[in-house]
Structure 1
Amino acid sequence: MKKRVLFYCAAVFTTLSMQSCVTNYVVSTPTTYANEYKSNAKLAAIDNKKLALAKEQLLSSFKDEQLVASKNLEAIVKNEEIAKAVRFSQKIDDILTEAETYLGTPYRYGGMTRKGIDCSAFVLSVFGATAGMSLPRVAASQAQEGEKVEKSNLQKGDLVFFSHGRGRISHVGIVENVTENGTVKFIHAATSKGVMISSLDDSYWGPKFRFAKRILSQDDFNSNIANN
């Protein structure tokens, strides 16, 4: 009888112990894994945020560098364009300075020196000496050079052409200045007073004006410099 009671007690104790182990196993194991999963997921989220922030900072830095580079390039181009305009303006000034040294030179038909010169020889001498240009000898042929320019768009250094009738071009001058009110002054070798400065508003020259040409443009001038 004693042995049987001991046997039952041992069986009950063993059963309770097994249930306790199973209970501990089933409850504790999923909880541990879940906590580890949440921890790993949290770390992954933090790493992704750091990565996204790093990418954003890198892109922002790249954009800033691009913007700076673009502005620097614009400044270089702008400065180069300004430099080209200054060089061209100086060349036009050189042409007019040379032309003004002829003021008072007497007119002589067919003449090509400072002792006597005609209108077309005056123009080709001035442009040849300062711009290295080789122009035709007579005004009618010089009128075939360059690009036509409207009277309202005339600039210093442009050529103005005249005719004493309805026939061919017979006279040429160089635009010396355009005033604020649009008055065009030109320097030329006139048969009456030799090399002088006149106006397109003049009662004599105004009606005889036919058209104007630009034989030296800023693009052509700077292109020649680049090639030389």
Structure 2
Amino acid sequence: MKRRVMFYLVGVIATLSLQSCVTNYVVSTPQTYVHEYKSDAKLASLDNKRLESAKAQLLSSFKDEKFAAAKTLEATLKNDEISRTVRFTQKLDDILKEAETYLGTPYRYGGMTRSGIDCSAFVLSVFGAVTGMNLPRVAASQAQEGEKINKEDLQKGDLVFFSHGKGKISHVGIVENVSAEGDVTFIHSATSKGVMISSLADSYWGPKFRFAKRVLSPNNLNSNFANN
């Protein structure tokens, strides 16, 4: 009897132990590791941002270089323009200095020397000596040269043309000065007193004035008179 009881207890204990082991044993669920790899879309977005940044830096660099180049070109052109204007002004002064050396020279129709000279010969002689320019011999032909200039835009060195009747150009002179008030004086060879200075406001010459021409300008100074 005792042996049965013992055997029974041993069986119960064994059963309970086995259940306890089974109960405590938990099958672990395989762990899924989520790798933090960036997706293709995220990588593409990152690459695009870097590319755009690089492009922006490159464009900025180009803009800076272009701006610097533009400023350098602007300064060069400005210096060239100033230099050209200075040379042009000096050439005009030289023309008038040459013209003034003829003051008092008597008028002679067809004359071309300092012993006697007519109006058109005076103009072509002065311009030829200073610039090497080869103007036509007579006033009417000289009137076909250069750029037509309004009276209010006259400056030193411009040519002024006159007519003694019937509209035909018969006289020419060189603008000698334009005052701040707009008064214009010109140097010419007149039949009455030879080479002299007169005013466009003069009662004799004023009504006979027809138009003015500019045969010398900063733009044609170098091309036509580079060696003078």
Once the two structures are TM-superposed, the CA of residue 221 in structure 1 deviates from its matched residue by: 2.1
Counterpart secondary structure, 1:37: coil
Between 54-63 and 190-199, the greater mean CA deviation after superposition: 54-63
Between 214-223 and 197-206, the greater mean CA deviation after superposition: 214-223
1:198 aligned partner: 198
Size of the alignment, in residue pairs?
Answer: 218
Output the CA distance in 2 between the equivalents of 1:117 and 1:226: 28
Q: Higher helix share goes to which structure?
A: 1
Distance verdict in 2 for CA 1:63–1:226, change over 3 Å: farther
Distance verdict in 2 for CA 1:46–1:127, change over 3 Å: same
Residues 84-123 of structure 1 correspond to what in structure 2 (within 5 A)?
84-123=84-123
Q: For residue 198 of structure 1, what is the amino acid of its counterpart? A: S
Q: For residue 64 of structure 2, what is the amino acid of its counterpart? A: D
Instruction: Deviation per CA, 1:113-142: give whole Å up to 9, x if none.
Output: 112211111001001111111122221222
Once the two structures are TM-superposed, the CA of residue 144 in structure 1 deviates from its matched residue by: 2.1
Contact persistence 1:199–1:205 (CA under 8 A): yes
Q: For residue 9 of structure 1, what is the amino acid of its counterpart? A: L
Please provide the CA RMSD for this pair: 3.5
Output the CA distance in 2 between the equivalents of 1:156 and 1:92: 7
Unaligned 5+ runs, structure 1: none
Establish whether residue 30 from structure 1 lines up as the match of residue 33 from structure 2.
Answer: yes
Counterpart secondary structure, 2:169: coil
Establish whether residue 124 from structure 1 lines up as the match of residue 124 from structure 2.
Answer: yes
Once the two structures are TM-superposed, the CA of residue 63 in structure 1 deviates from its matched residue by: 1.7
Unaligned 5+ runs, structure 2: 1-6
2:3 aligned partner: none
Once the two structures are TM-superposed, the CA of residue 173 in structure 1 deviates from its matched residue by: 0.3
Distance verdict in 2 for CA 1:14–1:43, change over 3 Å: farther
TM-score after normalising by structure 1: 0.80
Contact persistence 1:88–1:222 (CA under 8 A): no
Contact persistence 1:104–1:196 (CA under 8 A): yes
2:209 aligned partner: 209
Once the two structures are TM-superposed, the CA of residue 197 in structure 1 deviates from its matched residue by: 1.0
The equivalent position to 1:9 in structure 2, one of 13, 18, 21, is 18
Q: For residue 81 of structure 2, what is the amino acid of its counterpart? A: E
1:221 aligned partner: 221
Q: For residue 190 of structure 1, what is the amino acid of its counterpart? A: A
Once the two structures are TM-superposed, the CA of residue 99 in structure 1 deviates from its matched residue by: 0.8
Q: For residue 105 of structure 2, what is the amino acid of its counterpart? A: T
Between 218-227 and 46-55, the greater mean CA deviation after superposition: 46-55
Distance verdict in 2 for CA 1:208–1:10, change over 3 Å: same
